C-alpha cells in the first residue's frame, strides 16, 4: 500500500510537535503534570496543531482530485463566477460549537465562577474598610484632625501643597474658603458639582446674565474676601443676585446652595468624594477613601481654612 507523501509529512509534523512540547515543558509533575491548567493548555495546543495539519491535508488532497461542480451564481466579476455550494456540515457544526462554548465560558466557566485576583482584592478592601470604620468610629475632633493631616499629606498635598496654599495657583488655596477666579468661573459657567452635600441639590445655573465683567469681579472679590462689608458694591450685587440661594451671609441653604462663607466638614467630604470642576481646573474624585477617612480629611481642611 502506497502512502501519500502528504500523510507522511503530517505524521512527521505531529510527532515533532509532540517532541518539542515534551522538551519545552516536560511531562513530570513539577512542570506540566502538577498543574491542570498547564496540562490543558498543552493538550489544547497539540489538538489544534494536529487538527490544523489534518484539515490542511484534506483540502490539499481535495484540490488535487476534485473537479468544480454545481450551479454558478448569477453574479460574476470580470467573468469569474462563484458556485452556489452549500456550507460544509463540519464547518457549520464547528462554528455553532464555538458560539455555544463561548456562552458557556462567559456564563458558567472562568469569568463568572473562577478565582479572580480583582475579586479577592475588592473583598479584602471591603473587609478592611469595615474593620477600619468600626475601630475609628468615635474619634474626637483632635484625633480626626490628626488623621486627616496624614491623609492630606498622602493624597492632597501633591496638588494643594503641604501648606494647602495651592502651589501658586495649580490647585485651590485651602487656607481660605474660595478664591476670586473660582467665584467668577461659577457665576459665568454655573456648577454641576452638587456642592451643598445634599444629593437633592441640582447644581448652580449660570448667573452672569445682566452682569458686566466688572460687576462679576466685584461680587467675586466680596465673596472671596469673607464678605467684606467695605465692598458695598459687591454686597449689593450679592444681595440681589446670590443671597436668595446662598443666604444673606453666604452660609447656604440646605438642599439648595452650599455654604460659601466657610468650609464645613460635610461640604469638603462631598467635594473630595465626588470631585469638582472649577476655574482652576478639574479635581478628581478620591474613591479610595472610606467614610471615616473622608470625614477626617474634611475636618482637617476645615480646621486649616479657619486658621485652627
**Residue 74 placed within a domain:** no
Tell me: the pLDDT tens digits for 140-178? Answer: 999 999 999 999 999 999 999 999 999 988 899 999 888
**Residue 257 placed within a domain:** yes
Window from 48-57, 110-119, 250-259 with minimum mean pLDDT: 110-119
**Residue 138 placed within a domain:** yes
Q: pTM score > 0.85 for this model?
A: no
**Residue 113 placed within a domain:** no
Rounded average pLDDT over 5-13: 73
Query: Same structural domain for residues 57 and 149?
Result: no
Query: Same structural domain for residues 33 and 159?
Result: no
pLDDT band at 2 (very low <50, low <70, confident <90, very high): very low
User: When comparing pLDDT for 275 and 81, which is higher?
Assistant: 275
What residues make up the domain containing 135? 127-305
**Residue 119 placed within a domain:** no
Q: What is the DSSP string of 28-62?
A: SIIIIIT-HHHHHHHHHHHHHHHHHHHHHHHHHHH
**Residue 148 placed within a domain:** yes
Cα three-residue angle 261-272-295, rounded to 5 degrees: 85
**Residue 97 placed within a domain:** no
Using the 3D structure, point to which of 17, 45, 66 is the last residue of a domain.
66
Query: Same structural domain for residues 285 and 152?
Result: yes
For residue 14, give the nearest of 54, 42, 59 by alpha carbon.
54
Asked if residue 223 has pLDDT above 90, the reply is: yes
**Residue 222 placed within a domain:** yes
Query: Same structural domain for residues 160 and 53?
Result: no
Using the 3D structure, point to which of 66, 84, 101 is the last residue of a domain.
66
Count of domains in the chain?
A: 2
Amino acid at each position: 500500500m502506497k502512502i501519500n507523501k502528504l500523510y507522511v509529512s503530517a505524521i512527521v509534523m505531529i510527532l515533532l510537535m509532540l517532541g518539542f512540547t515534551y522538551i519545552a515543558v516536560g511531562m513530570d509533575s513539577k512542570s506540566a503534570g502538577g498543574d491542570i491548567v498547564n496540562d490543558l493548555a498543552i493538550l489544547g495546543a497539540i489538538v489544534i496543531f494536529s487538527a490544523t495539519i489534518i484539515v490542511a491535508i484534506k483540502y490539499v488532497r481535495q484540490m488535487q482530485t476534485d473537479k468544480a461542480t454545481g450551479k454558478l451564481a448569477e453574479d460574476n466579476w470580470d467573468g469569474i463566477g462563484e458556485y452556489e455550494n452549500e456550507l460544509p456540515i463540519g464547518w457549520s457544526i464547528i462554528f455553532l460549537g464555538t458560539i455555544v462554548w463561548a456562552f458557556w465560558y462567559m456564563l458558567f466557566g472562568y469569568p463568572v465562577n473562577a478565582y479572580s485576583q480583582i475579586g479577592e482584592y475588592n473583598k479584602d478592601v471591603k473587609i478592611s474598610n469595615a474593620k477600619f470604620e468600626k475601630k475609628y468610629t468615635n474619634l474626637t475632633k483632635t484625633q480626626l484632625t490628626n488623621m486627616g493631616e496624614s491623609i492630606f499629606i498622602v493624597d492632597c498635598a501633591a496638588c494643594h501643597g503641604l501648606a494647602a496654599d495651592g502651589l501658586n495657583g495649580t490647585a485651590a488655596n485651602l487656607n481660605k474658603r474660595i478664591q476670586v477666579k473660582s467665584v467668577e468661573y461659577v457665576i459665568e459657567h454655573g456648577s454641576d458639582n452638587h456642592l451643598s452635600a445634599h444629593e437633592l441639590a441640582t447644581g448652580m445655573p449660570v448667573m452672569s446674565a445682566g452682569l458686566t465683567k466688572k460687576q462679576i469681579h466685584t461680587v467675586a472679590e466680596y465673596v472671596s474676601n469673607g464678605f467684606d462689608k467695605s465692598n458695598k458694591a459687591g454686597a449689593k450685587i450679592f444681595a440681589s443676585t446670590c443671597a436668595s440661594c446662598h443666604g444673606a451671609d453666604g452660609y447656604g441653604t440646605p438642599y439648595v446652595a452650599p455654604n460659601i462663607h466657610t468650609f464645613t466638614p460635610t461640604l469638603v467630604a462631598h467635594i473630595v468624594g465626588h470631585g469638582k470642576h472649577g476655574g482652576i481646573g478639574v479635581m478628581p474624585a478620591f474613591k479610595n477613601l472610606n467614610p471615616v477617612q473622608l470625614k477626617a480629611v474634611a475636618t482637617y481642611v476645615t480646621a486649616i481654612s479657619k486658621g485652627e
